[in-house]
Amino acid sequence: MRLTAARKAAGYRTARQFSDTHGFSQSTYWSHENGTRKFDVDTAFIYADKLNISTAWLITGEGEGPSPDGRADEAGITRDEQFILQIFRSLPEEDKSWILDQFRREALKAGIVIETDE
């Protein structure tokens, strides 16, 4: 039922409207929404992205559900980003350093330049 709540909060009145808009098979999406067919994590990521919700909430129900307007919070942070930040903050400092190094390497590979105070 979380998928239905997220769809409605995102402004799609019907499952058909949502599936047609995003090119999903109507019968497959409907069976996911009504619970007669389970969906995998990859599909959850796709639905969460289209509905602007946290994948974690869609899969587990943990954390906040969709906002009434379907947007990110006031700071422009999506629920998935909030989820990542929450996990990051709970890690030991040495793990945080390792993760930040990985992000920096990947950003450089992608040609992304990020200004820091360091």
Q: Is 118 among the domain residues?
A: no
Structural domains counted in the chain: 1
Segment 82-95 shows an average pLDDT of 85
Q: Is 96 among the domain residues?
A: no
| CA–CA dist 76, 64 (Å, integer) | 16
- Give, in order, the Cα–Cα distances in Å from 5 to each of 2, 93, 110: 5, 37, 36
Return the CATH number at 15.
Answer: 1.10.260.40
Tokens 């769809």, located at residue: 7
What pLDDT is stored for residue 25 in this prediction? 95
What pLDDT is stored for residue 117 in this prediction? 56
Segment 53-67 shows an average pLDDT of 82
Q: Is 46 among the domain residues?
A: yes
Q: Is 113 among the domain residues?
A: no
Residue 13 belongs to domain spanning: 2-91
